[in-house]
Amino acid sequence: MTLSRVQAALDSIGLRNQYLQNFVENQIDDETVEECFSNTALATNLNGIIPIVGHRIKFQKAFMAFPAGLASINNVTLNGSLSNELEPSCNGQVRPLQFSTVASSHPKVAYVNHTEIMDIDCADSELINQEPKPVQIMDFKETGSRSAPSEIVFHESRMQEILNKAKSKRVAVLAIAGPSRKGKSFFLNFVLRYLNSLKTNEKDWMGWTKPQESLKGFTWRNCAERVTTGIWMWSEPFTIKSRNEDVDLLIMDTQGVFDEHTTQREWSILVGLGLLTSSCLIFNILSDLQEDYLQVFDNFLSFGLMALNENDGRTPFQRLVFLIRDWNIPGQYPYGSSGGKRFIEDRLNIKSHHKESHKRVRQQLKDCFEDIGCFLLPHPGENVLALDFDGSATQNEKFAAEIEKCILELMNALKFPLKKINGNFLTGPDVLATFKLYCELFNSEEVPNPESVFEIAAKSCNTIVIKKCIDTFNVEL
């Protein structure tokens, strides 16, 4: 058993005493480590050997810096045991070193991609042990050139940490998108309250009897400047019961679009990623559903139509919900889902005076989604204009009551759609791999064309089917 590169890498980052024996006990040698780093399907083999993400990333960089063929250190044996050794944590406390055992040098693992190696601070490396919080999984990085578009930075290891907590075979993804400074994060925090109440059996999750309880979760504040940048995911999946089986629900918040900070390419990417990777996309807008908003979906609906034609009528997307705030004509269309249903049906009806582009986007919306819904919410009142507004439900009972009804209906576990591609339900690793593929696509093109998006979807679908076949084969063996 040769561990020359492993030992040299651990020595260079000062982690030999913590982790070398883990490699020995689990028969993970230089050749196996090399294979893990060159084959993304085996990357998670090292998760149990070096459980802290930040340490694992430092080790990979150090290992790859040492060439193969270092002086051999064969038949490595270590005196004593590290099982009682303590490792420091970020807050200066100590705790027992824990790691999961890998049974062989080539254990069977779930498919996970690891390509972008990033520097992660201590807070990121221990995300799994922290209190639930929003975590940024995608951002834009300026290239320094006016002519070159910004680059997508996908924080893959952060998303991996979140998905490592998923306990179920299937996942659902709730995402929200829309114009900047219109209350997307604010709304999601009430969703978080409701989902947390399912775990604690808290009846008053809206806070009717707790007027001093501020609204926490995704970062929000009452100001003119934008707060959310990129795409953020809640660090804890929520387990919900859907059709008599447990499902892991992921919550995503996206940067606001159509503002001075966001280019057309960037808002196309933000809306596109939300649409393509979620099973329910909330499009949050103010006052009315303008024609411009419908046209936002046009490019991605063209992809959807391709998928529709190829797959015998299966819809490529699950659910789209228009959340319209500050609704000002409740006399014609009442607040809530009943008025929203009538409104969206009327707005999506194809009329003789519509231009061809208007007719096309309406028909594609109907063809590409299993379900399209709409909720109409009243104005939250003058209290929200105060800079110290904290989201308390009692400050506008009418608005809070409509929020409560909206969330109870929206988050009905029996009706909440699961994420799938071409009829294949996705697992946590599938969601990660698909998200990464789309990030790579959007980095390579100014505005992705429908053919490219369709190719990515087909690739993801094929990967899922192949994995299912392999799993079935192994079970039968």
- State the average pLDDT over residues 99-126: 34
pLDDT of residue 195: 94
51-71 per-position pLDDT tens digit: 776 677 778 888 888 887 665
Give residue-wise pLDDT tens across range 435-452: 998 888 888 755 556 566
Residues forming beta bridges with residue 240, ordered by sequence position: 247
Whether the predicted pLDDT of 341 surpasses 90: yes
Paired with 171 in beta bridges are 248
Highest mean pLDDT among 207-216, 328-337, 357-366: 328-337
Q: What is the pLDDT of residue 108?
A: 29
339: confidence class by pLDDT, cuts 50, 70, 90: very high
Selected residue with higher pLDDT from 102 and 399? 399
Please compute the mean of the pLDDT values over residues 16-34 and round it to a whole number. 87
The residue length of the chain stands at 477
Give the mean model confidence (pLDDT) for residues 180-196.
88
Side-chain half-sphere CA neighbours of 129 within 13 A: 13
What is the residue-averaged pLDDT of the chain? 77
Q: Which residue has the tokens 């809640």?
A: 234
Mean pLDDT for the stretch of residues 31-38: 85
Residue carrying the six token digits 């499009």:
283
Burial of 354 (0-12, 13-18, 19+ CB in 10 A): middle
